[in-house]
Structures are given as C-alpha cells and as structure tokens.
A and B are shown apart, each in its own frame.
Chain A
Amino acid sequence: MTVSILHRVTGSGMATVGTLLLVWWLAAIAGGPQSYAVFHMVFAEFGKGVLGYIFGIGLTLSFFQHMASGIRHFILDTGAGYELNSAKRAANATFIFSVLATIAFWAFLLGAK
C-alpha cells in the first residue's frame, strides 16, 4: 500500500520538480558562465547551499525509493511475490534500501570533495 503510493509520489515529483531542475541545470551550462552563476548562486551559495541540499536529498531519496519499488514491480509482474509475508518483507526492503543508498550517495559526494 504505502510502497505503491510512494512509487506514484516519487515518480510524479521527479517528473515535475526533477525535470525542471535538470533542464535548468543543462540550460545554465549551455548559457555560459553568467547563466551558470545564477544556478550556482541559488543552489550552492545561498544559505550555504540549503536549497541544493533540500532538493538534492529529496530527489536522490525519491530516485532510490522509486528505483527499488520499480524493481519490485518487475518481480511482481512475473507473478511472483504476492504471498503476504514476502510482499511485506520486499516492501520494507525498498525503504531500507532507499535510505541507505541516499546516505551512501551523500557521504561519497561530500567525502570526495
């Protein structure tokens, strides 16, 4: 139940907010140094980059959750995994995966800089 509504919420969120940010980023790079400076200001400099963290963490968490429940969809599509206990375990596994993957992503990103 929760997993499938989250699949919808994360997919729709990435499709709207994520798309606009990705397109803004690409267009800012193509636009040259001044247009990139605006993007960089908003997401990396303003308030020590709060907006970058809020949108960045929101989108990575959404992505990993959607990816995990998407893979779960592939398994359910084969007709397997509908038994109540295994369905519950797989649903919980998607939450654990998305939180751990998000932490790993940010630890790597910040640690590597």
Chain B
Amino acid sequence: MRGGTELGRVRGLGSAKAGAHHWLTHRITAASNLFLMLWFVIAVARLPGYDYATVRPWLASAWVAVPMILLIVSVFWHFRLGLQVVIEDYVHAETRVALMFALNFFVVATSAIAIFSILKVAFTAAAGVPA
C-alpha cells in the first residue's frame, strides 16, 4: 500500500459501492421473512403433535418442503447481512476478517445441512424409507 496519511490513502476512492445493495437486500429479505416466518409459526402451532410420526410426513409434503426451503434462503441471507452489520459495528481489523470468515462458513454450512435435510425427507417420502 502507498504511504501517506490515512485520509490521503482513501481520498478519491469513493465508497465500496456495495452499501446500497446490502441495505436493499436486507429490506427485501425482511419482507419475505415476514411472510415465511408467519407461515412457519402458524404451521408449527397447528401441528397436532411433535412426534416423529407427525412431523416427518408433514415436512415431506410439497406444501411444507417448498416454503421451508424458501424460508431457509430468505432468513439465512437476512441474518448473514444482519450479523455482518453487527460485526462491523463492534469488531475491527484482523478479528473482523476472521469473524466474517466464520460467519460465511456458518451460513453456508447450516443452510446446506438444512436444505439437504428437507430435500431428503421430501424425496424419500413416496418410497416410504425409513418408515
């Protein structure tokens, strides 16, 4: 990096040009979260029970599996953007880079497990395995 004062180094660079997009995506996912999370909360409350025999066929239905995958995408994207703001507010320099790496890892790993699980339940429902 070129020397000089801190101000001198950043002058003329402009913004990172990603801020408005971040903000807008956060609002859009907030709106889709509103619908998907309300659906989820009501659907879970209306389940007749929470044992395996009730929950598995429920999740296997297309009317649950599809909104559930949409919910994972919307909510996880939303909190990925949200936690980035929290990290940027409190943590700086190397720790910030490490935490952002951990955040990305966390979101990608958890969403992959969640979506794989939903698809597995949905796609093995017709075959009836495992009962």
Q: Do A and B come from one complex?
A: yes
A residues neighboring B (CB under 8 Å): 8, 11-12, 14-15, 19-20, 22-23, 26-27, 29-33, 36-37, 40, 44, 60, 63, 67, 70-71, 73-74, 77, 105, 108-109, 112-113
Binds A, one of B2-10, B13-21, B92-100, B116-124: B116-124
Central interface residue in A27, A40, A74, A108, by most chain B CB within 10 Å: A27
Q: Bin the interface of chain B by size.
A: 35 or more
B residues neighboring A (CB under 8 Å): 27, 30-31, 33-34, 37-38, 41, 44-46, 48-52, 55-56, 59, 68, 76, 79, 82-83, 86, 106, 110, 113-114, 116-118, 120-121, 130-131
Do residues A23 and B110 form an inter-chain contact, with CB atoms below 8 A? yes
Instruction: Give, as a whole number of angstroms, the nearest-CB distance from B59 to chain A.
Output: 6
Give the residues in chain B near A40, CB-CB below 8 Å.
50-52
Known contacts A23-B113, A40-B52, A105-B45: does B82 contact A29 (CB below 8 Å)?
A: no
